[in-house]
Amino acid sequence: MDRRSFLRTSAVGGTAAAASSLAAPAIAQGNRTLTFVTTWGRGLAGVHDSAQYCADSITALTDGSLTVDLKAGGELVGAFEVFDAVSAGQADMYHGVDYYFLGQHPALSFFSQIPFGMTFQEFNNWFYHDGGQELADELYSIFGLKAFPAGNTGPQSGGWFSKEINSPSDFEGLRFRMPGQGGQVLGKLGASVQNLPGAEVYQALASGAIDGTEWIGPWADEAAGFQEVAKIYYPSGFHEPGPNLNLVVSLEVWEDLSRTQQAAIEQTARASNIWTMSLFMANNSAALQRLQSEGVQLREFPDSVWDAFGSAAEEVVQENMDDPLYADCYDSFMESMKSSAGWSSRSEQVFTAQRNRVRGL
The tens digit of pLDDT for each residue in 122-140 reads 999 999 999 999 999 999 9
E strand or H helix that includes residue 27: strand 26-28
Ranges under pLDDT 70 in the chain: 1-30
- 79 DSSP 8-state letter: G
Q: CA gyration radius for the chain?
A: 20
Give the ranges where 116-258 is alpha helix by DSSP (H).
120-129, 132-141, 180-188, 201-207, 218-224, 251-256
In the chain, where are the structural domains located? 3-151+243-282
**Number of other residues whose CB lies within 10 A of the CB of residue 133:** 16
Q: Span 3-151+243-282: which CATH code?
A: 3.40.190.170
Query: For residue 217, how many other CB atoms are within 10 A of its CB?
Result: 24
Q: Residue 17 has what pLDDT?
A: 40
Per-residue confidence (pLDDT) for residue 30, from 0 to 100: 65
Position 23 scores a pLDDT of 44
Q: What's residue 168's pLDDT?
A: 98
pTM: 0.91
pLDDT for the residue 16: 40
Which of 117, 99, 152 is closest to 340 using CA atoms?
Answer: 117
